[in-house]
Amino acid sequence: MGQRAMQFVDLPSGEINMQRYAELLLHVGYPQRYCQVMGRKTAPLVVEAESAHKDLDYTSANGIAFVRAKLCWPAAAGSFEDGMGA
């Protein structure tokens, strides 16, 4: 344990802006493409749990809670440019 101490951390401890990644998935059309290909009404946002220092079950539950609290929001129906007639 601890050989690669900060290479694998839980989502709240990491330095990557996960919200921007979720926004990028929306921007490139991931939800629509997933639903089209898989024949589903919604697209999943999957959490991978890894930590060099924390229990795996704790890290998994923590990751799910992080996604629910930080990465799930109502999608905008339009853009600022749409409203301004651009």
Other beta carbons less than 10 A from residue 57's beta carbon: 9
Q: What is the pLDDT of residues 7-45, one digit of tens each?
A: 778 888 888 888 999 999 999 999 999 999 999 999 998
Confidence (pLDDT) at 62: 92
Burial of 11 per CB tally in 10 Å (0-12, 13-18, 19+): buried
Q: How confident is the model at residue 4 (pLDDT cuts 50, 70, 90)?
A: low
CA dist., res. 73 & res. 56, Å (int): 26
Task: Spell out a b/e string for 42-51, using b for 16 or more CB atoms within 10 Å of the CB, else e.
Answer: ebeeebebeb
Give Cα 1 distance to the centre of its chain: 27
pLDDT in tens, 46-73: 888 788 888 989 999 999 999 999 988 8
pTM of this structure: 0.69
pLDDT recorded at residue 42 = 92
